[in-house]
Structure 1
Amino acid sequence: MPQTLKGSCHCGAVSFSLQSSGAVPYQLCLCSICRKVGGSGGSINLGGITNTLEVQGRENISVYNAVLGNRGKKNEKRATSERNFCKQCGSMLWLFSPEWRVYRLSVDSFSRAHHLGLNRPDLIHPFASAIDTPLTPPEEMTVLMLDSTPDWVRLPEGKKKTFQHYPDESIEDWHKRHGLWAE
């Protein structure tokens, strides 16, 4: 049975709950987006079930679509995924994309989308930093996007797998491999 996760922003203006079948915070993303919007060395996303999301203080949420290229130019490219933040204190809350509800994926993007779990219409990624429910520490970390990591960022200690880009398995696959997936 999926676990109920409760989360909130730092100032308390937004609180939320949702169900998660994959709530072990094992996957650390070090991409420039996660570093810059998170204000740290990276971010950890969990897997959640979209239609279980309940939000209090929705009026205090702002959405950011990350710049993917040509920042500040007419042909600026933005992500379709929505990073939801508290507009009062700036806390990252969750990541969601309306496109994840659509199964039409190009052949070129299918493999990458499958590995990321993006071909799931029910998928939402709460940021572990916003979760108030105690989370199980992972025995092994997955660290991704090393190709965009500056020298000052230190990798976590302990057992880990590292990837220049995206990992070989989705959040669901990782949890299943470790016997931690909750149906």
Structure 2
Amino acid sequence: MLLEGSCHCQAVRFSVESHEPVPFMRCHCSICRKTAGTGGYAINLGAVYETMQVQGNENLSVYRATMEGGQPSTAHRHFCKLCGTALWVWDPNWPELVHPHAGAIDTPLPVPPSVTHMMLGSKPDWVQVRPEPEDETFDAYPDESLAAWHQRHGLAF
């Protein structure tokens, strides 16, 4: 599925091919929550890095979070340096993948049949998670990848 996205001020626009476009996974870690999630979580999609096309590269900036122990994260969090919109995450440990933030996607996205709430051990008390019966919850990382979840639900694109 071709995804098209942009920042709020439209200075950065992008497109990317995604095999995992269903916005089902809500990450409550402090990095995602503070850089891209105002509801107490962020939603990242899975896409193929080599298909990424970007307009407005000069308006991009990258943030690398500091991890416990003071080491920089390997993840490169791309955002618009004009309006601050979080756009996508790319990590050289998985160079073939890119993870656009669902909130930056302009293409209509499929509705997920269930939601995976992850990194709940990091969420603040003010964030109330009310999972539906079919949802899954994890204090840290889930048991399956974005690709495996899509395959299990018959949603491979």
Taking structure 1 as the reference length, the TM-score comes to 0.82
Verify: 1:51 aligned to 2:50, yes or no: yes
| Paired residue secondary structure (2:32) | helix
- How far apart, CA to CA, are the structure 1 residues paired with 2:14 and 2:122? 31
Displacement of 1:59: 0.5
Displacement of 1:99: 2.2
| Paired residue secondary structure (1:7) | strand
1:167 alignment partner in structure 2 = 142
| Paired residue secondary structure (1:63) | strand
Structure 2 gap segments, 5+ residues each: none
Q: Please tell me the residue identity of whatever aligns with 2:57.
A: R
Displacement of 1:83: 0.2
Structure 1 gap segments, 5+ residues each: 71-75, 102-121
- How far apart, CA to CA, are the structure 2 residues paired with 1:98 and 1:80? 7
Verify: 1:18 aligned to 2:12, yes or no: no
Greater shift after overlay, 156-165 or 137-146? 156-165
Displacement of 1:69: 2.1
Q: Please tell me the residue identity of whatever aligns with 2:79.
A: F
Q: Please tell me the residue identity of whatever aligns with 1:174.
A: W
Q: How many residues align?
A: 155
Q: Please tell me the residue identity of whatever aligns with 1:141.
A: V
Taking structure 2 as the reference length, the TM-score comes to 0.95
Verify: 1:86 aligned to 2:80, yes or no: yes
Q: How does 1:69-84 map to 2 (within 5 A)?
A: 69-70=68-69, 76-84=70-78
Picking from 119, 128, 133, the partner of 1:154 is 128
1:104 alignment partner in structure 2 = none
% identity of equivalent residues: 51
Q: Please tell me the residue identity of whatever aligns with 1:95.
A: V
RMSD over aligned Cα, in angstroms?
A: 1.1
- How far apart, CA to CA, are the structure 2 residues paired with 1:152 and 1:93? 25
- How far apart, CA to CA, are the structure 2 residues paired with 1:99 and 1:157? 31
- How far apart, CA to CA, are the structure 2 residues paired with 1:150 and 1:99? 29
Displacement of 1:67: 1.2
* Per-residue deviation, residues 41-92 of structure 1 (Å, max 9, x unmatched): 110000000000000001000000011125xxxxx21101100000001101
Displacement of 1:127: 0.5
Q: Please tell me the residue identity of whatever aligns with 1:28.
A: R
| Paired residue secondary structure (2:93) | helix
Displacement of 1:93: 0.4
Q: 1:24 to 1:156 in 2, by over 3 A?
A: farther
- How far apart, CA to CA, are the structure 2 residues paired with 1:176 and 1:124? 18
Picking from 130, 155, 169, the partner of 2:104 is 130
